[in-house]
Structure 1
Amino acid sequence: MNLMIVTPYFYPKMGGVEKYVYEISLRLNKKYGIDPVIICSNWDNDRYKEDFIDGIKIYRLPYLFKISSTPINPFWNKKLHSIIDKENPDIINGHIPVPYIADVVARIVHRKNIPFVLTYHNDLTGYNPLVRLLSKAYYYTLGFKTFDLSQRIIVTSEYYAKNSPYLKKYYQKLRIVSPGIDVKKYNINRTNYLKGKYNLKDEKIVLFVGQLNKESQHKGLDYLIKAVKIVSDSINVKLIIVGTGNYIEYYKNMAESYGMTSRVIFAGYIDDSDLPKYYNESDVVVLPSYNRAEGFGMVLIEALACGTPVIGTTVGGIPYAIKNDEDGLLVPPKDSEALADAIKQILTDEKLAEGMGRRGYERVSKEFTWEKSTENFLEIVREVLGE
């Protein structure tokens, strides 16, 4: 089987979508002998280049400009035709929410009579009125046509499949392939790594992991900072924020305005190999996103793989990642008071926290592995190809 995957960005740029594509591609190669070919934009945007990573062939295309986080180049069409003709794929899998490149490829391969499967990670929303308007315009100019041209549409959770207003018409096409996790990587012994690195004593640790870009405001970090301020009135607590981005000064100024400078640690970029230490040594991991742009919430699954309880909001795919009152707590979005109450509940009840962490680890070990994700993806591809 010749499989091609089209995604806006790819490793070494590593967000949720990039990790999803990388992990499944890796297992297709190693376990099933399928050599996926990746087409993506060139994150460095210096030139066109071809390379290999872990046996995966990658074509990186320079973009002309970006709208929000969307790389665009009207001249890609000719190059995409050339690459597709050269590789002669049996089927192509495109990834959004970051639009354009997958939409262009869907139209090219439709004319070439090559099956196209779309992986739809989350709805496009937007962090300001203009971006929201452009997001809505996308569906009516490109998105719905791409959905029409897709033989199947993969989503990451049943919750998202049932609740996305843009997918209702296409429900019969929908299939679910949740992200996975390498549980062994995260199930490590607790040490005092964070205490030593940040000179902590007996503080309770609240952890946030996510990009600190303006485009990622939907992750709700501002509501978490305010919630931790409330919690700090009665509990000795530290908020550790892992991530970088163009909005970091905004969050630092917010922490300062709340008098929280001494209680908030901006850890910056942390390599994937060190992240399990942060999850393991935290008392609770929080993802307070406030709109459907949060397609799944991978950090919650990573935390549960470490046996750490989690708190999330009732939006997007988060309620699929968290079993409320079993391995974590769900609160309404944009509600710092409710978020603070949930944090206090976990930080003050050791038995509750331990039970949630244990049940979360057990569920993740059974339901969310990359091996299972790859198997489910391959089943859909074979279904489309009639194998």
Structure 2
Amino acid sequence: MKIAHITHTFPPYEAGTGRVCYYNALELARLGHDVTVFTSNHPPGEYEYPPEMTVKRLPTPMRLGNAPLMPGIVSQTRGFDIFHLHHPFIFGAELTRIASTLWRTPFVMTHHNDLITEGSRARQVMFDTYTPFSRTFSAGQASKYCVVSMDHAENCNLTPVYARNWDDVVEIPNGMDTAHFHAGIDTEFLYEKYADQGLTKDTPVVLLVAALDSAHTFKGVYTLIDSFAHLANKDALLMVVGDGDLRPTYQAYAQERGLGGRAIFPGKVPHEHLGAYYTLASVAVLPSTPPESFGMVLIEAQACGTPVIGSDIPGVRSVVEDGVTGYHVRPSDPKMLAEKIDMLLSDPVRAEQMGQAGLEMVFERYAWKSIAKKLEATYESVLASK
């Protein structure tokens, strides 16, 4: 099949949607398909991608936050068998629908999360207006809907679209890279790197991996920082991996809350080194609020044998088996988060058991190769009924 993936973000910009698109495209190409990714030329520069797939970084005359206007979606997608739209994508969803109509090419869609309405009143009005329009004009016209979990599908802004015909909804979760995330990753270089900041092999480490920019304020960084005021374990070190325009703000807040040297913000970490950070951690957390819909960092951490804590919200709770691979916590509840962190730090035997259970679970459910085969079958079913 000749497949076009259309996404608003893509590596080197590190965020969940782009990373999912990357592995979807790569593994489909390794199955023998001709796969092209259409994305924006932001951030600018030259980047190398695996030779199995083609990446076209299209000119972007304007952007609305993380939504680039890419007119080339229409002109450059003729001749494909199927489109795969990564949603939400203001401008891109509408252009994909237009291209689908012009070139008589069906499209499937993965809805990664709802739009973030927090912020200015103008932003809220705009998104509240756009969402019902998108349900009708663009998102509502897909041939199949790939959802990261049925839990999220039943509790998101597109639920009314899915409810028209649940037979068109296919659960295809996000995955993890088994080459980079697995048990037994060497961490010695991290102890050397952070020795001056108090890291030893006896130091409990609480880890969050997240984009630290204005588009990802829902990651719960403030909640995690606040939880340290309630921790019984005063030796624990907070490590927040990631970068973005809000990183200095979070660092300053950690200082205001009295964490001092107990908070480390390493910045952006190369993908090939990320597994070492998960392995180093005593516990990995994702205290997100909606519109978080899944939590790839949780399955990556579990693949490394690390117990996890995730918010009890649609989608995220589906990748953490409460009391077995980790714990659920109420969103925006730093005291409850601290209690669960302390439970894991005070019982290393239980933490190790949870880590092992999580490792076994994610390798069974979330390997990208098996996910690509589900996508392939979904595309084939769409084309067979065309």
Q: Deviations over 1:122-142 (max 9, x none)?
A: 111233143333222221233
Q: Deviations over 1:176-222 (max 9, x none)?
A: 11112233432224543332211113321000100111221100100
Give the Cα–Cα distance (whole angstroms) in 2 for the partners of residues 61 and 191 of structure 1.
39
Q: Deviations over 1:85-125 (max 9, x none)?
A: 3xx01111111123221321112212332111111111112
Q: Secondary structure at the match of 2:34?
A: coil
Q: 1:109 to 1:51 in 2, by over 3 A?
A: farther
Q: Secondary structure at the match of 1:84?
A: coil
Give the residue type in structure 1 aligned to 2:278.
Answer: Y
Give the Cα–Cα distance (whole angstroms) in 2 for the partners of residues 52 and 210 of structure 1.
22
Give the Cα–Cα distance (whole angstroms) in 2 for the partners of residues 210 and 44 of structure 1.
18
Query: For 1:1-387, what aligned pairs fall within 5 Å after superposition?
Result: 1-30=1-30, 32-44=31-43, 53-72=50-69, 76=71, 79-85=72-78, 88-130=79-121, 131-171=123-163, 172=166, 173-187=168-182, 188-199=184-195, 200-201=199-200, 202-231=202-231, 233-291=232-290, 293-386=291-384
Q: Secondary structure at the match of 1:295?
A: coil
Q: 1:192 to 1:57 in 2, by over 3 A?
A: closer
Give the Cα–Cα distance (whole angstroms) in 2 for the partners of residues 294 and 136 of structure 1.
18
The answer to whether the 8 Å contact 1:127/1:214 transfers is no
Give the Cα–Cα distance (whole angstroms) in 1 for the partners of residues 24 and 250 of structure 2.
34
Percent of pairs with identical residues: 29
Q: 1:212 to 1:81 in 2, by over 3 A?
A: closer
Give the Cα–Cα distance (whole angstroms) in 2 for the partners of residues 284 and 44 of structure 1.
32
The answer to whether the 8 Å contact 2:176/2:299 transfers is yes
Q: Deviations over 1:158-191 (max 9, x none)?
A: 2111221422332322111111223343222454
Q: 1:16 to 1:62 in 2, by over 3 A?
A: same
Post-superposition offset of 1:28: 1.5
Q: Secondary structure at the match of 1:185?
A: coil
Give the residue type in structure 1 aligned to 2:12.
Answer: P
Deviates more, 1:183-192 or 1:148-157: 183-192
Q: 1:252 to 1:14 in 2, by over 3 A?
A: closer
Post-superposition offset of 1:84: 2.1
Question: TM-score, with normalisation over the residues of structure 2?
Answer: 0.92
Deviates more, 1:346-355 or 1:57-66: 57-66
How many corresponding residue pairs? Answer: 376
Post-superposition offset of 1:50: 11
Give the Cα–Cα distance (whole angstroms) in 2 for the partners of residues 111 and 4 of structure 1.
15
Give the Cα–Cα distance (whole angstroms) in 2 for the partners of residues 342 and 83 of structure 1.
50
Q: Secondary structure at the match of 1:40?
A: strand
Deviates more, 1:352-361 or 1:107-116: 107-116
Q: 1:52 to 1:218 in 2, by over 3 A?
A: closer
Q: Deviations over 1:252-293 (max 9, x none)?
A: 1111111112110011110011111110011000100011x2
Give the residue type in structure 1 aligned to 2:104.
Answer: N
The answer to whether the 8 Å contact 1:41/1:63 transfers is yes
Q: Deviations over 1:56-83 (max 9, x none)?
A: 122222212222221125xx1xx33331
Q: 1:339 to 1:315 in 2, by over 3 A?
A: same
Q: Deviations over 1:209-265 (max 9, x none)?
A: 00111221100100000102321x543110011001101121111111111121100
